[in-house]
Each structure stands twice: as C-alpha cells, then as structure tokens.
C-alpha cells in the first residue's frame, strides 16, 4: 500500500504536518483517506457532471431554437400569397445558412469582445474567428462549442424576424446581403452591450432571453426596411382602404406557430445558461411554465378580443397573440409568478390585436405582423421586467430598449438605403404582380394547384 | 488551516469525541478528512444530480408532449375538408391555450388534492392555484414546475382528442367552453383517482401513462359529444349509405402522425417520472423501444388488413393504426418484452380497421377516427396490462376503465346537453354546408386553391 | 456509533492494520471516514451518472433521428407530383414501421454478431432476437434498449433514402418487400463490417456517423433500383430532352429539409456514443457545430452556384445542398475545425448542383435527388476524413466505400431483379399516368385542390 499515493488529496502543508506524525498515526489517517481514494472514479464523474448538464442545456436549447428557423419558415410561407411562397422559403433557409457563416466569421467575436471594446479592438476581432473546437475547459463550466451553437441560433432568429415583414416585395439578394450585415455585425454589436458584458449590462439593463436584444432588434431592422421599401403594390388603396391579402396556407402558418412555441422553451429555458445545480434545474422549469403560460394567455386574449371587436375569431391574430405572449415573457421569464406570466402574456395578445391595424393606418406593410409581435410586444416585455425582477428599473429598461432601437434602426436604415441606391431593393412592378416565385426564381411552390 | 472548518462533515457526537483526542491525533484525522472537504463542491453537485435528471426528464418529456398539440392540429387539419381547416386549426391552438390556464387555475389542484378528498376539500382547492415557482425542494426529487409542465401536457392532450371527433359541425365557442370544463374539472378529477393517489390507485388499477386516463377519457368525452351533436350533414344517406368525406391534405395528416409518434416517446418515457438512477434510465429506454414497436406493429397490421380486406392499402388507416398501437402500449409500456409490445400494438391496428366502419354503422360520425384510436384501443391497452405486469388483474383493469368511462361520459354529456340547450352546439345547416371557415371565421385556410 | 459499519470502505488489509491501532487512534480515523460515509447516497448517484448521461444521449439522439422519418416523408411528399403524394406518404410511414420490426427480428443480431462471423453464425442469429429489456448493466455504460433504439433509427434512415429516388413509378408492395430485406439483412450486414466490430473497422476504415454506412448505402440501393426500374414515363424525351416534373408542395419539402437538419444533430451528435464525461460533452458540442456549419455551407454554395450558372436561385438545389453538406460531414464531424466543416459541406453543395443534371444525362431518374445527396456526397464525405482525422488513409477510405458500395449494389440489384421478375416492380402505364394515388390506393392527398 503506497501511503503517499493515497494521500494525494492533501495539501503540501498537510503533508509536512503529516510527516511529523508517528508512523502508526500516519497509518490511521491513511486508512481513513483510503475510502475517499477508492471512490475516486465516482469523484471524477462528479467533477464533470455540472459541465455536462450545462452543455446539455445549451445543446437541447440550441436544437429547439434551431427548429424555430423552420417555424418562421412555415409561418411566413403560410401567411404570404401562393405566388411568393417559394421565395419566402428560399429566404428562410438561406438566411439561416448565411447567419451561421457570418456569425462564426465575424459576429461571435464582435459579441464577446473581451477587452477589445474599442473600434480598433472590434476591427481586430473581425476575421479572426474564435477556435471553439478545443478540449473541454472545465473552468468555464460548459463546452465552448455548445455556447457558440446556442448563441448562433439567437442571431439567426433575429434575421428570421425581418424576412416576414418584408415578404412579397423585396428581391432575394439585397435581402440576403442585409442578412450578412445584420447577423455578422449589427446584432452582435447590440447583443454585446448586454450579453457580451458591455455597457448596458453594467448599467443594470435586464433582458433575460432577448425581448429587446433579439425580438425588438429584429423588429427594428424590419421596420426600417418596411419604411424604406414601401408597401406591397395594391395593399393600400388611394381612398385609404386597406386591401386584405390573405395568407395562402393557414395549416403551415399554424404549424409554424406551434414549432416556434416549442422552440421558445429552448430559447427562454436555455437562457438560464446552467443546469448543473438543482436551483438551475428548478429555474429552467419555472421558465418553461411561465413561457407556456404567457403564450396561452396571449392566444386566449387575442381570441377573445377579435371575437368582441370583430365578432369573429381571427386565427392569424390568435397565432400572433401566442407569439406576442412569448415575446413578452422573454425579457423576464424566471421571476414572475404564473399569474404574472399570464397577465404579461395577455397584454402581448392585446398589443397584437390593436397594433396590427394601427400599422396599416400608418401604411407600414408588415406581411406577417412581425413588428407588433416582436418589436411592440418586445418593448412591453422589456418594460414589464421591473414588476417582478429586483434590481431593475423602468428607466433603465427604457434606456436599454431605446439605445438598441436607435442603433439597430439607424444601422439597418443605412444598409437598406445603400442597397436601395445600388442594386435596388424591389423587383419591377410586373414581377411583383406576377409573383416573385415565377419572376425571380422560376419555381412555383404549388405548381399544380389552380388559383381560385 | 482551520481544523474546525475542515471537520464540518462530522456529527456533534463525533466532534465531542474528537475533542477528547490528543492534538496530534486530531491533526491526523483532520488531514484525512481534508481530502473529503476539498472534494466538497463535487459532493454538492452529486447531491443535486438525481434531482436534475428527474427534472430534465419532465422537461424533455414535456416539450415532446407539448409538440403533440401540433401533431393533433396537423392530423385533424389534414383529415377535415378544406372548408373547415381554419376552424380546426383555431380549435386546436385555442384548446391548448385554454387547457394551460384552466389546468393551472383549477385542474392541477383538483388532480392532487392531498388530503382534500371531500367535496368541500375539492371546492376549497379550486381557485387557489398551487405555487410552483418556489425554490428547489430536493426532498421531492424533481422541480415542482417541471411536474406541472409535464402534467399540463397530458391534460391538454385529452382535450385534443375531442376536437377531432367533433370536427366540421360544432361551433367554436361551445367547444371551447366544453374544453374549459374538461381540462379544468373532468380530466383532473378522474386523473386524481389514479395519479393523484386516489381510490383507483389504492385499489390496484394500473395505467402507466394513460391509455384510460388520457386516451379513453378523451374518447369518452368525444363519444358523448358525437352522439349528442349528431353526424355531419350528408354523412349518412337515408339508404344507409356512408358518404366518404375525404381529408383535404394527407401530407399534413401524415406529418401530424409522425409528430404524435415522436411526442409519444415523451408521453410514455416521461411517465417513468424519474431518470436519476441507472435503473430509471434503463426503464425509460425500454419504454422508448416498446412504444416505437407498438406503433410500428399497429401501422403494419392496418396496412396488411386494409390490403387484404379492401385490396388497397388505406393511408388514413395506417396512420390511425400507428396511433392505435401507441395508445395500446400506453397503459403498460415498461413491462412487456419487445414481442409483447408488437402484438399489443398490432391488435391496436386491428381495432382501428374494424372499429372505424363499425362506428359508421352506428351512425356515430367520428371525423378523424379518434374513438377507435383513443377509446377502443385505450380499452385494449388497459386490459392488456395484466399479461405482463405483476400485481394487476383483468377485473381491476376493467373496473378502472369502466369507472372512468362512466364518469367522463356522464359528466361530458351533462356539459354537452347544457351547452346544446343554451347556446346551441351546431351552426345552421347553411353555415355547415358553406363550411365553418367562411361562415363562422370569415377566413379560409387555402383561399387561393380552387376546389376541384 | 458502529465503527465497523462506518469503515466498510476499507480493505481487508486496511482493517487488520486498523485493528492493531490503539483505540483512540481508531476513533480518530473512524471520525475522518464518517464524512465519506455520510455522503454515501450521493456516491451511489454518482456511480450511475455516466450511465444515465450515455443513455440519455442515445434517447435524445434517437428521437431526433426518428423525426428524420418525418423529414424524409415531407421532403419526398413535397417533391413528387400531387398525384403520387399519398403513395409517397404511405411508403414512408410503412418503411419506417417495417424497419422497426425487421431490424428487431433479424437486423440487430446480424449487425452485432459478436463471435458469429461465419455464415452459420449469421444464420444462427436470425430469428433469435436479442433481449434488450433486462435490468441496467452498469458495465456496458449505457442502457441496451437505448442503443437498440438509436441503431434502429439509422437502419430506417437508410431505407428512407431509397423511397425518394424511386418515387412515382414503383408499386407499393415490391418496395416494401425490398425494405424488409434492406433493413433486415443488407444494411445490418454492411453496418456490421464497421460498427459491429467487423473487418472494415479492424482494417482502419473510418465512418463516424455513416456517410458511407447509411447514406451511400441507401444511395447504392436506390441507384440499383433506379437503373432496374427505369425512369418515369415521359421524363426523358426521345430527343434527349429532360422534362422537368416539378414537386407539388415546396412548403412541405422545405419543412422536411429543416426536420432532417435538426434530426442530424442527433444523427451525428449521438454517434459520439457517450456523454458521461466532460470530454464527451465537449465532443458532442463540436459535432453539433460542425454539422450545422456543413449544412449552412452546402446550402449557401448551392445558392450561389445556381445563381451563377442558371441566373436563378433554385430552392430545391438549396435544400439538397444543405442535405449534401450534412451527408458530407457525417463521416467525420468531430475532428475538422469549423472552417474544415464549412469547406467539406460547401463541396457537398457543389456536388449536388453538378450531379443532379449529370444523372439526368445518364437517364437515371432520381425524383428527389437522393443519389447526389446521399451517395455522391457520401463518397465525398468519406474521402474527406483523412484531411482531419489521424490514423485514416485515403486508400482505406476508398476501400471501405467501394466494398460497401459493391455489396449493397449487388445485393440490392439481386432483390430488385427477383422482385421484377416475380411480382413486377412497375404499375401499368395507365396507372402511372393516372397517378399511383388513384390507381393503387384510391385515395388522393389533395382531393379538393383542382389541378392547374
């Protein structure tokens, strides 16, 4: 029996003390520690356990948020007219793919600049992508790759929001180039202010999973685009009449909403960022419940309101009500009681029902209702945080929301204007009337189904 | 080195004994325990590990069962005619949303009454929703929130079953009001008899994941509704002829079935209720395998039978065969061998093929085949338990099934009749012919696709 | 305090040594070990932890790969003409169901023959299905059931690949009988060569998650079938003109691609086969990231190339580009850097754009492009392994690919030829023109949507 080996757990100080003991006392102590040593393999597993749980949360959360890309694609494909469905599908799979590459190449570094909070520092990080493929670093508490995977999905979600608003009237390539800038530069910079340890987080702004950072940001980018792009041909008559352009496939739209709802469990739950303790597991559970409750409340509220106001329940409002409930709870899904989650989500549903026609009055053409759902409900969710979360303030929440809003809107507007004045944003009127599928892609989504 | 601090693991008794030792012996013992103390953070993680695993099982199982709401929505939207698709989608997202609120507000308390097994006790729990957002309670072994999340999804699934049977001929609001009662009161009460520690569980009834408690219960509520509501206009000719009314989109119906199949891994696997030991992980694995095998067998059996009987494989029967296989194994997915799971599931497939036309003979109009799939295969699954599970009996299984059947049928019938005699259940004949989408909602699911 | 009980962790040697100590020294040592003893329940949990994590990886990976069955179904249903959609859906749910039973009954044993590497041994294992329902065996490190579940999904995926290529012109039953042989015999044998510890694994072939074993194998089976079956009527004009037969529902096709993409995280990530250490969790994370990056790169590359070559982005090429990127990275998703994953995936995208028209020149009619995506990109992925994985060689990779290719092609061709010469593979020309849905199944997927 090698006594020294058995006692490797002891400190140097302890060892010298130990050496001064008589032999038989050393033996007694050695015997005692043997039990520990024999349990060593289990100790090794336990050392890793929290790391594995944390990583697993990012991976499960990540694939759920990944699936939101499919949710956005189905929602948008269902809410555009059939002549633009192929284009909408193309934009959605393309924007997700582009986001992956742009976020890796530029965005991830911008978002976590470490000490490089200067212009030079920012520039220095560009095109020097972090290596996330190294060995497991137990000290960080989770796998670097799992964090990258999870963060990427949030970046891509931001871009997905934009595509819905601008549907049916923007050419493919300018949209994709905008996506490169949004996912590679604009989102990572504003996200770094909070999640990268930047000035907003230091100032006390609170946005748990991104009501502002993801949803409102996507909404602002969409809003800037919608204003610069203008509405679809024929959407707003000269007499002020709003012409409804109903979605072509509400089955897909509903499927998309359910997929987004499911993905949101990963979106909000994964944003706990840890699963390695019972307290974390409990927190993730509370987040799942609150997230679900807010969505339910948003949907029910939209259902009741459309019944009361229009005497008919409007499915698209119910779908957007659920989504607005989800966006509303995203800034603070952990702290509210269930009742809190319900009323926060319900107000999200109210927002949708009133904001959708309001945008039409402003002649801002938002094809899928993304601005009410993501921007306005995102504002509401951000402002609702101080009701339940200690250490937050309405003022600071407003400052955070406004700062990100101004930055994203201005940056997006510049990119949209540059694209408009160079390659142009809109197809010709003939192409738009014909539909982008035939005009730009030469491929119809439903080539065999006669148009009624 | 603070010796006292290092020895905090010791009991008070131990400490007094320790104090009586000479100093150098104290030092020896202290050194020995230091190794343990240094490992303390890992100990802390290990304490939580089972709690985290159990909670994680509920959360993963829960989001999979959540997704079954999408599965039901797609299955039903695909199996109704296109003029009622928006309505079916609306009902599905609405019922899920309502279930969330009703189960929280009333149902969850009714389902776990603790000591309140009297009428007064029941009433007392209503409108005093349990708080599930507190700190993690290690003693329970899982997060209260994760349990609520998981249980809610079962409640919602019960309501989803009803919507399919009654499709195409029931107005939106009476259906939704029924949903409130079903998810807030009827389901929680019958579920409490078994899963809330009530009389059925004490009497030895066995229903692992809910062949009776969820599926047959949903089926009974649907059956009561179908009888009271009557068949769709034109479904049964005066000459006894059954007019087929084929579903409008078998792509969505198949997608819905696959989603339900996937969700069932969470439904049955999560019902193990624990993942904190190797034995539990092993049990969940066996459940996954048996669940999959029963579904496969049900589908294959329905395929072979429709080929033999009708000389043509019937996709809708294959889809329902898979679902019937799933329902059949749900009462006891852990104990059968794989071969057992296969024959249990296969008989589920047989049931579907013979029960669907049988219901038509009885002029019970079940639009999606939910009664054969959920009620009759649920009966079969419940009765099959004693073949593999020790301590169960055919008599007790029958008693449990019949008790729940009678309670749910009577309670549901009362609600349906009250709704019928007050606000009415059916739209006008004109509205039904026109389709509920145009008549009640003013929104078509496929507005551009001409009807053939 | 029972000292002996407290010291059960000690060895016999230790105990005799301990007994020779004076009482008060014994007491000191006993106190020290008490801390360990008190922590005993947590120790027990830790023993199981790795087992649970490993099992959980198989279960999560397994249900994700399960969902790929839905992905294939949607992709194929979207890419065939509406007159063959019900048939394509039927084939997909049927093949998955059949795979489950055939793999259990025969395949799983063939795939892991243990010592039975002779013809007699092989035959001996047939129809003597392994029992996977026993108690947890901690020594294996994971639940046997979870492994079976995971492996089954790979087998089924192989069969899913075949159905897409042969769509719109093969009768249901010969296809299903082929599926029985493929999933029960052909796939398990070739997979045993590598994953069952067979000669390819011993020779140093490397195929992490199955670029060759699953994807190319499915592609070879499809290729043999396509050649023997011949192209769809009217696909290739006598003047050499290729008649486009556009898919009927690109929404479903895109959904299918997103589902497959998500499922691939389970496919590749689960193939790490372990999650019980931080190193494994880290590896799974890297695999998730690389898998996602390869898909993104494949999609982007196909998008750019179709724009450059055809002046129009082709959505079906983008979808297949993403899938080809996924197949390409599947042989070695762990070792490449992110940049490596990107260029490996991008070449997958290139392959699709050039191989699809090439097959048409050879008059091999591959309805969904499965041969480029799974066989050719699978070849590329297999050959790319030595760029990043130590201990692999281009020669051995080629030998492995070619061996499996020859075996699967020859075995499949024999089965196809036997089926052709007995029950026949193709429907009559009239039936094919009418569409298999009406002709063979009597059930249309979209009965109400008029054909344009």
Nearest CB partner across the interface for B251, out of C67, C249, C443: C249
- The model carries a pTM of 0.91
Q: What is the average pLDDT across C401-407?
A: 98
SS3 content of chain A, % helix, strand, coil (to 5): 75, 0, 25
Mutate to test the interface with B, among C35, C147, C153 (most CBs of B within 10 A): C35
Please report all neighbours of A, defined by 3+ CB atom pairs within 8 A.
B, C
- Residues A339-370 have pLDDT tens digits of 999 999 999 999 999 999 999 999 999 999 99
Would the CB atoms of A448 and C248 count as touching at under 8 Å? Answer: yes
- Identify the weakest region by mean pLDDT among B2-6, B119-123, C147-151, C161-165: B2-6
Greater pLDDT, A33 or C96: C96
Q: Which are the contacts of C188, defined by CB distance < 8 A and separation ≥ 6?
A: C103, C106, C107, C108, C109, C110, C111, C155, C196
The residue of chain B with its CA nearest to that of A314 is B441
Q: Which residues of B touch A265 (CB under 8 A)?
A: 59, 63, 66
Would the CB atoms of B24 and A21 count as touching at under 8 Å? Answer: yes
Residue B388 in this model has a pLDDT that exceeds 90: yes
Q: Which residues of C touch B282 (CB under 8 A)?
A: 55, 135-136, 143-145
How much of chain C, in percent, has pLDDT values that exceed 90?
79
pLDDT at C39: 43
Banded pLDDT at C333 (limits 50, 70, 90): very high
Nearest CB partner across the interface for B254, out of C29, C73, C99: C73
pLDDT at C133: 72
The pLDDT mean for chain B works out to 90
Q: What is the rounded CA–CA span in Å between residue C350 and residue C347?
A: 5
Q: Which residues of B touch C78 (CB under 8 A)?
A: 251
Are C164 and C182 within 8 A, CB to CB? no
Three-class DSSP category at B14: helix
pLDDT at C3: 33
Nearest CB partner across the interface for B51, out of A254, A281, A296: A281
pLDDT at A5: 32
Closest approach of C323 to chain B, Cα-based (Å) = 20
Would the CB atoms of A145 and C286 count as touching at under 8 Å? Answer: yes
pLDDT at A192: 95
**What ipTM goes with this model?**
0.90
Report the sign of the C-alpha dihedral through residues B105, B107, B108, B112, in that order.
positive
Q: What is the rounded CA–CA span in Å between residue A206 and residue A197?
A: 12
Q: What is the average pLDDT across B12-38?
A: 50
Mutate to test the interface with A, among C251, C329, C356 (most CBs of A within 10 A): C251
The residue of chain A with its CA nearest to that of C289 is A149
Would the CB atoms of A28 and C26 count as touching at under 8 Å? Answer: yes
Q: What is the rounded CA–CA span in Å between residue C100 and residue B197?
A: 36
- Residues C58-83 have pLDDT tens digits of 999 999 999 999 999 999 999 999 99
pLDDT at C263: 98
pLDDT at B36: 45
Residue C178 in this model has a pLDDT that exceeds 80: yes
Q: What is the rounded CA–CA span in Å between residue A358 and residue A366?
A: 11
Banded pLDDT at C300 (limits 50, 70, 90): very high
pLDDT at C451: 82
Environment class of B264 (CB within 10 Å of its CB; exposed 0-12, middle 13-18, buried 19+): buried
Banded pLDDT at C254 (limits 50, 70, 90): very high
Nearest CB partner across the interface for B262, out of C66, C101, C143: C66
Q: What is the average pLDDT across C179-184?
A: 98
pLDDT at A127: 58
Closest approach of C95 to chain B, Cα-based (Å) = 9
pLDDT at C239: 85
Nearest CB partner across the interface for A449, out of B45, B78, B449: B449
Environment class of C37 (CB within 10 Å of its CB; exposed 0-12, middle 13-18, buried 19+): middle
Would the CB atoms of C254 and A93 count as touching at under 8 Å? Answer: yes
Would the CB atoms of C31 and B10 count as touching at under 8 Å? Answer: yes
Q: Which residues of B touch C39 (CB under 8 A)?
A: 9, 36, 43, 46
Banded pLDDT at A115 (limits 50, 70, 90): low
Q: What is the average pLDDT across B11-40?
A: 49
Q: What is the average pLDDT across A232-249?
A: 94
Q: What is the rounded CA–CA span in Å between residue B389 and residue B370?
A: 27
- Give residue C311's region: left, alpha or beta (phi > 0; psi -120 to 50): left
Are C292 and A145 within 8 A, CB to CB? no
The residue of chain A with its CA nearest to that of C49 is A45
Closest approach of A221 to chain C, Cα-based (Å) = 23
Please report all neighbours of B, defined by 3+ CB atom pairs within 8 A.
A, C
Banded pLDDT at B7 (limits 50, 70, 90): very low
Size of interface B-C (CB pairs under 8 A): 253
Q: Which residues of B touch C445 (CB under 8 A)?
A: 249-251
Mutate to test the interface with C, among B8, B254, B256, B257 (most CBs of C within 10 A): B254
The residue of chain B with its CA nearest to that of C60 is B60
- Residues B103-159 have pLDDT tens digits of 999 999 889 877 666 666 666 565 566 667 777 877 788 999 999 999 999 999 999
The residue of chain C with its CA nearest to that of A71 is C255
Are B28 and A24 within 8 A, CB to CB? no
pLDDT at B30: 55
Q: What is the rounded CA–CA span in Å between residue A86 and residue C368?
A: 17
Greater pLDDT, A145 or C128: A145
Would the CB atoms of C261 and A66 count as touching at under 8 Å? Answer: yes
Banded pLDDT at C126 (limits 50, 70, 90): low
Three-class DSSP category at B451: strand
B/e letters for B171-197, b = 16+ CB within 10 Å, e = fewer, are bbbbbbbbbbbbbbbbbbbbbbbbbbe
SS3 content of chain B, % helix, strand, coil (to 5): 75, 0, 25
pLDDT at C112: 86
pLDDT at A451: 82
pLDDT at A443: 97
pLDDT at B267: 98
Nearest CB partner across the interface for B29, out of C31, C39, C90: C31
- Residues A164-196 have pLDDT tens digits of 999 999 999 999 999 999 999 999 999 999 999
Q: Which residues of C touch B444 (CB under 8 A)?
A: none
Would the CB atoms of B55 and A282 count as touching at under 8 Å? Answer: yes
Q: What is the rounded CA–CA span in Å between residue B86 and residue B79?
A: 12
Closest approach of C25 to chain A, Cα-based (Å) = 6
Mutate to test the interface with B, among A14, A61, A248, A281 (most CBs of B within 10 A): A281
Q: What is the average pLDDT across A252-273?
A: 98
Q: What is the average pLDDT across C411-422?
A: 98
| Helical segments of A230-376, H only | 250-270, 278-310, 315-330, 338-361, 370
B/e letters for B281-306, b = 16+ CB within 10 Å, e = fewer, are bbbbbbbbbbbbbbbbbbbbbbbbbb
Are A241 and B441 within 8 A, CB to CB? no
pLDDT at A23: 62
Closest approach of C92 to chain B, Cα-based (Å) = 9
pLDDT at C114: 72
Nearest CB partner across the interface for A450, out of B47, B101, B450: B450
pLDDT at C140: 81
pLDDT at C16: 45
CA atoms within 13 A on the CB side of B262: 31
- Residues A65-105 have pLDDT tens digits of 999 999 999 999 999 999 999 999 999 999 999 999 999 99
Closest approach of C399 to chain B, Cα-based (Å) = 35
pLDDT at C40: 42
Residue A42 in this model has a pLDDT that exceeds 70: no
pLDDT at A117: 65
Three-class DSSP category at A393: coil
Residue C406 in this model has a pLDDT that exceeds 50: yes
Q: Which residues of C touch A62 (CB under 8 A)?
A: 288
C246 closest CA partner among B325, B199, A448:
A448
Nearest CB partner across the interface for B149, out of A33, A258, A289: A289
Are A223 and A375 within 8 A, CB to CB? yes
Are A311 and B442 within 8 A, CB to CB? no
Mutate to test the interface with A, among B27, B33, B35 (most CBs of A within 10 A): B35
Would the CB atoms of A338 and B104 count as touching at under 8 Å? Answer: yes
Partnered with residue A242 across adjacent β-strands are A236
pLDDT at B41: 45
- Residues C21-63 have pLDDT tens digits of 556 555 555 555 454 444 444 444 455 888 999 999 999 999 9
């Amino acid at each position: 029996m090698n006594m020294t080996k058995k006692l490797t757990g002891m400190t140097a100080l302890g060892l010298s003390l130990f050496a001064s003991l008589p032999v038989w006392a050393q033996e007694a102590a050695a015997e005692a520690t043997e039990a520990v040593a024999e349990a060593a393999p289990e100790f090794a597993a336990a050392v890793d356990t929290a790391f594995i749980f944390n990583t697993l949360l990012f991976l499960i959360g990540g694939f759920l948020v990944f699936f939101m890309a499919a949710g956005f694609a189905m929602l948008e494909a269902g809410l555009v007219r059939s002549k633009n469905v192929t284009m909408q599908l193309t934009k959605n799979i393309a924007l997700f793919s582009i986001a992956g590459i742009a976020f890796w190449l530029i965005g991830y570094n911008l978002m976590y600049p470490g000490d490089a909070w200067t212009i030079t520092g920012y520039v220095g990080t560009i095109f020097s992508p972090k290596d996330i493929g190294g060995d497991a670093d137990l000290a960080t508490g989770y796998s670097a790759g799992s964090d990258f995977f999870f963060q990427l999905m949030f970046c891509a979600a931001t871009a997905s929001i934009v595509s819905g608003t601008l549907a049916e009237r923007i050419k493919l390539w300018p949209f994709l180039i905008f996506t490169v800038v949004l996912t590679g530069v604009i989102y990572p910079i504003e996200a770094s202010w909070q999640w990268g340890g930047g000035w907003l987080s230091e100032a006390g702004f609170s946005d748990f999973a991104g009501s502002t950072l993801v949803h409102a940001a996507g909404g602002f980018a969409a809003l800037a685009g919608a204003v610069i792009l203008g509405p679809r041909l024929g959407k707003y008559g000269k007499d002020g009449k709003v012409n409804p352009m109903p979605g072509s496939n509400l089955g897909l739209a509903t499927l998309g909403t359910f997929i987004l709802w499911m993905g949101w469990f990963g979106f909000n739950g994964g944003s706990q960022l840890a699963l390695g303790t019972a307290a974390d597991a409990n927190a993730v559970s509370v987040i799942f419940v609150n997230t679900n409750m807010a969505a339910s409340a948003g949907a029910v509220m939209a259902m009741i309101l459309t019944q009361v106001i229009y005497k008919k329940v409007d499915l698209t409002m119910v779908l957007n009500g659920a989504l607005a409930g989800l966006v509303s709870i995203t800034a603070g899904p952990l702290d509210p009681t269930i009742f809190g989650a319900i009323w926060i989500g319900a107000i999200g549903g109210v927002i949708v029902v009133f904001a959708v026609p309001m945008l039409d009055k402003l002649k801002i053409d938002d094809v899928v209702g993304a601005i009410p759902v993501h921007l306005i409900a995102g504002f509401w969710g951000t402002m609702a945080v101080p009701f339940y979360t200690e250490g937050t303030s309405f003022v600071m929440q407003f400052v955070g929301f406004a700062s990100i809003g101004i930055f994203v809107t201005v940056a997006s507007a510049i990119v949209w204007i540059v694209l408009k004045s160079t390659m142009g944003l809109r197809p010709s009127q003939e192409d738009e009337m014909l539909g982008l599928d035939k005009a730009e892609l030469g491929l119809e989504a439903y080539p065999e189904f006669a148009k009624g």
